Structure 1
Amino acid sequence: MSALSGVRVLDISQVLAGPYAAMLLADLGADVIKIEAPGHGDHSRQMAPRVADNVSGAYLAVNRNKRGVSVNLKDERGRELVRRLAENADIVIENFRPGVAARLGIDFETLSVANPRLIHCSISGFGQTGPYSARGGFDLVAQGMTGLMSITGEPDGPPVKCGVPITDLTAGLFATYGILAALAARERTGVGQQVDASLFEAGLGLEVWESVEYFHTGVTSRPTGSAHRLGAPYQAFRCADGHFTVGADGDRHWPRFCEVIGRPDLPADPRFATNTERLANLAALVAEIEERTVTRKRDDWLALLEAAGIPAGPIHTVPEALEDPHTRARGMVVDIEHATLGPLKALGPAVKLSDTPASVRTAAPDLGQHTDEVFGELGLGAADLAELRDAKVIA
């Protein structure tokens, strides 16, 4: 039994935030039906990296555990098929610009008439209301407009975006959080509701410390490189063969760290006696620390720091992180079988449930792979499907 066994989801979204949210639900056992346009399908199918001539790694990454249907939403018969699927669905996820779903007749107001229990999630760039609601949703733009880029990078450097599409992925996470809350509420009320998530609000929602700094002190947060804006030392330091990270800002760890690096005098220095002083004199603090850390290699320091109980770690490349024995022990790299490509590797579920665990069962579907299967469940026979295919309503 999976956590979401028996829950059906229609995924009418593409590229990242919506498909990511739907994939998280699929990992938990939901029956997710991915609805794509005939011919080109989800835009991510055309994106890099190419795993094979006609297969995109970007598409594979966020569409596993789904059944794939190809239907033409520009045709009223195609839209009617989707509405019929929605009558027996629990959740619909779409990421059209606000207003498009209503024009297609697959918005919450329309679909909930036939299915009052339906939970309808709309993911957009700026939400369903407000002066920017009609704008498209792009992670880079959202990172800039929410202030994330203004606090990322090195001090006095140019604006830098996060290394991952953080507002896209977080919008998907927040959408999933809203959907699961709506499912819980439906258990009490018997009716569904609209879930409205956006890249813009996802970016703002991550600024928990930066917002309180501004609200209560009037200070505008600035980039701090790898350093923490509220504690020091808590950042990356140079060593003889690169960098490593240390979190020694607490009163317990700070003097112990100084002992390890051979500078037991630093806690008595008035510039570094408290966390407040250390933050105020961060450049001087880093210089004093790195005078010692550059004398030894990373792994030597990490062994000493671990023995002393001080939080520290290497700065891995992505391949190093994926090959790390702890990554593998936690099931974060899994093997999966693709219908045409054969065995592939994928990221495993990031949350572990003891009784109803998430799992990776099937690879992302080929375009329209399950069209006949899914619409056959509506009672359409072979002749009906052939007629719709000849009319280019399905593919």
Structure 2
Amino acid sequence: MASRSQNRPLDAARSALPCDALPLKAPGAGFQFLAGVRVVDLTTSVAGPSGTMLLADMGAEVVKIERPSGGDDARSWGPPFLAGESLWFAAVNRSKKSVALDFSDAAGLKLLYDLIRQADMVFVNLPPRVARKLKVDADTLRQVRPDLIYVSITGFGLSGQRANWTCYDLIAEGYSGIMDVTGAAGGDPQKVGAPAADMLAGQDAAFAAVAALYDRRTTGKGHVIDVALVDSMTRLLSCRLMSYLGSGELPTRSGGTDSVIAIYQAFETADDPIVLALGNDNLWQRFWTAVGDPDYARTPGLQSNAERRQRRSEIVDRIATLLRSKPRSHWLDVLREARIPVGPINNLQQVATDDAMLARGMFYRLASADGRIVPQVGCGIVVDGEPGLARSAPPRLGEHTDDVFADWLGMSNGDRRNLLNQDSHERT
């Protein structure tokens, strides 16, 4: 039975939270595409855990190995905390099992290797020098299990002069160029408002791991997957980089108003802003018809996107004047009716209460077996009409240690403690 402090989300005495309005769901079977696949997760923070959570969302059994003291770095990231637990940690660790294990000594390392022998994949987010020091580098672990799929997520990759440099999302965004093209015209470079490099790298790692698993089932061979935060973030800029490489035109910060598409940006209305995308000639014509000025769409010199880009300022001024004449709700109705890509600029409160997103399972509260209620952001994937559902809440530190060793290795709690104690005595 959870203590009252552990059960704070159910405590009516506390102030209401946004998550209280979300639908309450019990853990379920979720997607089962990777059922039977075992993953040992040695990663911390966001990138690695987000990647292994995607695998868990698809049905893999993910065992998260954590330091007995403190665990994953993200467990301490806050405030805010919910019932004493980090919400950043909870965002990327559902449907996993937590094992508290110190593998810095011989006995702990032996236990880790025993688990890896039973695993299909291992995820590591250590620079190569540190991974070798801890004996969890690719060469070492593939001796433990030759057909292992070893997934490394680092800042700069496993090779090259930067391989052993430390890195976080912020550093990767700086290297990639995304910050240089993000922000208001004439303003300072800006970081993306989310850990974009981390989440992209995690997604790349999960995708590559599944592809390698598919190949192994045919060839019997393992693989070493090398994902770098800087590479993943740079890939996000492919369209921008290709435009530069093929033209020599270096983009500058513009507040998102310099797209290759004219028109593709935010506009003010009489009350709240909207975003508008006139991505082809047909949309251009339909927009001006919808707003009651079809003749302007036929103006010579505005018939192609290339021509409109040359006169972007004139067009933007005309649209801005028009849209400021009526409120956002009016323009959203008019333009949606005309099948024009248009939308609001939501804040996070509006996103979390969006009926369409709620219907697609993007936000819910998860009721764990120990009485905790944990908000979740869904994986954003719907299969056969069903959104994904967590199999379990983000684990407490070491919550599944005994269960995993018993299930994977047939080892009792006493046997494991005797092994660890014996090694400790031998070292002293």
Q: Answer whether contact 1:236 1:245 (CA < 8 A) is retained.
A: yes
Aligned match of 1:158: 188
CA offset at residue 4 of structure 1? Answer: 0.3
CA offset at residue 341 of structure 1? Answer: 5.7
Identity of aligned residues (%): 35
What secondary structure sits across from 1:99 in the alignment?
helix
2:173 is equivalent to residue 143 of structure 1: yes
CA offset at residue 228 of structure 1? Answer: 5.2
CA offset at residue 354 of structure 1? Answer: 2.5
C-alpha distance in 1, partners of 2:422/2:255? 57
Q: Answer whether contact 1:83 1:106 (CA < 8 A) is retained.
A: no
- Residue 96 of structure 2 is aligned with which of 58, 66, 85? 66
2:379 is equivalent to residue 349 of structure 1: yes
Aligned partner of 1:68: which letter?
S
What secondary structure sits across from 2:365 in the alignment?
strand
2:373 is equivalent to residue 381 of structure 1: no
- Residue 313 of structure 1 is aligned with which of 336, 343, 351? 343
What secondary structure sits across from 2:281 in the alignment?
coil
- Residue 41 of structure 1 is aligned with which of 71, 75, 78? 71
2:48 is equivalent to residue 22 of structure 1: no
- Deviation track 1:123-154 (CA, whole Å, cap 9, x = no partner) reads 00000011111111211111111111111112
CA offset at residue 375 of structure 1? Answer: 1.6
Question: What is the Cα-based RMSD across aligned positions, in Å?
Answer: 2.0
- Deviation track 1:100-139 (CA, whole Å, cap 9, x = no partner) reads 2222222221122231221000000000011111111211
State which drifts further: 339-348 or 310-319.
339-348
State which drifts further: 194-203 or 311-320.
311-320
State which drifts further: 33-42 or 202-211.
202-211
Give structure 2 stretches of 5+ with no counterpart. Answer: 1-30
What secondary structure sits across from 1:304 in the alignment?
helix
2:284 is equivalent to residue 260 of structure 1: no
C-alpha distance in 2, partners of 1:328/1:261? 32
Aligned partner of 2:367: which letter?
E
CA offset at residue 210 of structure 1? Answer: 1.2
- Deviation track 1:336-395 (CA, whole Å, cap 9, x = no partner) reads 1245562222111212223997431111110000111112231322322343676898xx
What secondary structure sits across from 1:242 in the alignment?
coil
Aligned match of 1:192: 222
Aligned partner of 1:86: which letter?
I
- Residue 316 of structure 2 is aligned with which of 286, 293, 300? 286
Aligned partner of 1:301: which letter?
W
With over 3 angstroms needed to count, the CA separation of the structure-2 counterparts of 1:281 and 1:156, relative to structure 1, is farther
C-alpha distance in 2, partners of 1:216/1:194? 33
- Deviation track 1:224-256 (CA, whole Å, cap 9, x = no partner) reads 323352111111111000201111131111122
After TM superposition, the score normalised by the length of structure 2 is: 0.87
C-alpha distance in 1, partners of 2:399/2:260? 51
- Residue 305 of structure 2 is aligned with which of 242, 250, 275? 275
What secondary structure sits across from 2:97 in the alignment?
strand
Aligned match of 1:176: 206
Q: Answer whether contact 2:128 2:137 (CA < 8 A) is retained.
A: no
Aligned partner of 1:180: which letter?
V
C-alpha distance in 1, partners of 2:32/2:382? 12
C-alpha distance in 2, partners of 1:391/1:126? 39
After TM superposition, the score normalised by the length of structure 1 is: 0.94
What secondary structure sits across from 2:294 in the alignment?
coil
Q: Answer whether contact 2:107 2:420 (CA < 8 A) is retained.
A: no
Aligned partner of 2:239: which letter?
W
- Deviation track 1:25-47 (CA, whole Å, cap 9, x = no partner) reads 00111000000001110110100
2:133 is equivalent to residue 133 of structure 1: no
Aligned partner of 1:147: which letter?
G
Q: Answer whether contact 2:53 2:93 (CA < 8 A) is retained.
A: yes
C-alpha distance in 2, partners of 1:248/1:357? 31
C-alpha distance in 2, partners of 1:158/1:341? 46
With over 3 angstroms needed to count, the CA separation of the structure-2 counterparts of 1:247 and 1:391, relative to structure 1, is farther
Q: Answer whether contact 1:139 1:199 (CA < 8 A) is retained.
A: yes
Aligned match of 1:301: 331
Q: Answer whether contact 2:66 2:72 (CA < 8 A) is retained.
A: yes
C-alpha distance in 2, partners of 1:170/1:57? 20
- When the two structures are aligned, how many residues end up with a matched partner? 393
Aligned match of 2:119: 89
C-alpha distance in 2, partners of 1:363/1:219? 48
C-alpha distance in 1, partners of 2:146/2:356? 45
- Deviation track 1:145-170 (CA, whole Å, cap 9, x = no partner) reads 11111111122221011111111110
- Deviation track 1:84-108 (CA, whole Å, cap 9, x = no partner) reads 1000100000101122222222222
Give structure 1 stretches of 5+ with no counterpart. Answer: none
Aligned match of 1:324: 354
What secondary structure sits across from 1:335 in the alignment?
strand
2:261 is equivalent to residue 231 of structure 1: yes
2:391 is equivalent to residue 361 of structure 1: yes
